[in-house]
Amino acid sequence: MSRRPVTLVAIGLTLGLTYGVWYSYSVFLVALLKEFGWSRSVLAGAFSVFTLVHGAANPVIGMLCDRVGPRRLVIFGGMALGLALYGNSFIDSPERLYLGFGLLTAVSVALCGWVPAVVLVQRQFMDRLALSLGIVSSGIGLGMLFVVPLCQALIESVGWRTAWQILGAICAGWIVPANLLLVRDASTPAAVVSTPDAAPETARRAAKIHGAGAQDATLRGALRSEAFWLVMGAFFFGNVCSQTMHVHQVAFLVDHGMAAMAAASVVGVVGIASVFGKTGGGWLAGRLFDATGSYSIPFVIAAVCGTIAGFAGWRARSLRLRSA
């Protein structure tokens, strides 16, 4: 088997486990709420700290990718993630929750998460960059599909403390050896290919994905560009909307009479859609649309779906008030 598909699979499964930890907090939130009776604002606040720490760590991790290499960061992050999740099993106060999950787990997820994955893929798969990124990012959807229900099953069978310990062992047991054995740490981007005939095609695809003049961009130039801040704003507001719903989704469904495992499986359905959306988006970005078109379409769809969901909620409340 060619090493290239194996590398993509290894990176994708690493992302699946890493962000499976992220999205599985929705089921741990229900378990912690049941055991300790802490307010939902306290439990949701820990997730807010987690997301903020994860985001703040990414620029530093990007710098470290240039200095020590993304593969080494992922390997170290896999070990750190296993230890952080094991430490989470000893949580007995909000302070420890914020420290263990909000801080240590967040940094560990960032170390073996999206930024190192993008660098690894960009340096090795420039000839099929959009599709390659779509394939590895679909691993996040697989994490939602399998890891979240798995965590709920473990919580029901052995309790949330042991569930976090087992999840930590699974993460470290895959991430560390997989990235040691299956992933190589290319030192330079793969934009410069070895065969003269392939170079024009690679340049054409890069220009289609990134836009004209993207290869000449610098960090200072990016910070001064309108496109950079528009993309950052899209990431920020998009995640505010999506993550707010994700963290409360399982608890909301349980409150309305759904079994916890069924509620966790709903998150898995979101994961299935994510797999097709990410892989399909990567294919579209490389084939039919430029970066702006392929990036804008999902936000339009999300805005429409959010509007429909808001209207449905308003309608449901109106019907309840009338029946009362």
b/e 4-36 (16+ beta carbons within 10 angstroms → b):
eeebbbbbbbbbbbbbbbbbbbbbbbbbbbeee
Q: What percent of the chain has pLDDT over 70?
A: 82
pLDDT confidence of 192, banded at 50, 70, 90?
A: very low
pTM of the model: 0.79
Mean pLDDT across the chain: 82
- The answer to whether position 206 is within a domain reads yes
Nearest to 183 by CA among 18, 19, 67, 11: 11
Query: In this predicted structure, what is the pLDDT of residue 193?
Result: 41
- The answer to whether position 239 is within a domain reads yes
150, 158 Cβ separation under 8 angstroms: no
Query: In this predicted structure, what is the pLDDT of residue 120?
Result: 93
- The answer to whether position 102 is within a domain reads yes
- The answer to whether position 12 is within a domain reads yes
Query: In this predicted structure, what is the pLDDT of residue 117?
Result: 94
| Residue matched to tokens 């509620």 | 263
- The answer to whether position 301 is within a domain reads no
Cα 77 from chain centroid?
Answer: 15
The yes-or-no verdict on residue 194 having pLDDT over 50 is no
Query: What CATH number should be reported for the domain holding residue 161?
Result: 1.20.1250.20
- Average pLDDT (225-243) is 77
| Residue matched to tokens 């300790």 | 36
* pLDDT 10s digits, 207-226: 444 444 444 467 788 788 88
Poorest-pLDDT segment among 100-109, 142-151, 275-284: 275-284
Query: In this predicted structure, what is the pLDDT of residue 324?
Result: 65
Query: In this predicted structure, what is the pLDDT of residue 275?
Result: 67
- Average pLDDT (116-132) is 86
The yes-or-no verdict on residue 241 having pLDDT over 70 is yes
107, 59 Cβ separation under 8 angstroms: no
CA atoms within 13 A on the CB side of 289: 14
The yes-or-no verdict on residue 34 having pLDDT over 80 is yes
- The answer to whether position 133 is within a domain reads yes
Name the residue range of residue 156's domain.
3-190+200-211+224-288
- The answer to whether position 321 is within a domain reads no
Nearest to 53 by CA among 110, 14, 129: 110
b/e 188-226 (16+ beta carbons within 10 angstroms → b):
eebbeeeeeeeeeebeebbebbbeeeeeeeeeeeeeeee
CA distances (Å), origin 110, targets 120, 157, 259, 302:
14, 29, 32, 25
Residues 6+ apart with CB under 8 A from 34: none
Most confident of 135-139, 239-243, 270-274, 276-280: 135-139
Q: How many domains does the chain have?
A: 1
- The answer to whether position 205 is within a domain reads yes
pLDDT confidence of 308, banded at 50, 70, 90?
A: confident
Tell whether the torsion through CA atoms of 89, 35, 44 and 13 is positive or negative: positive
Query: In this predicted structure, what is the pLDDT of residue 185?
Result: 76
Query: In this predicted structure, what is the pLDDT of residue 283?
Result: 58
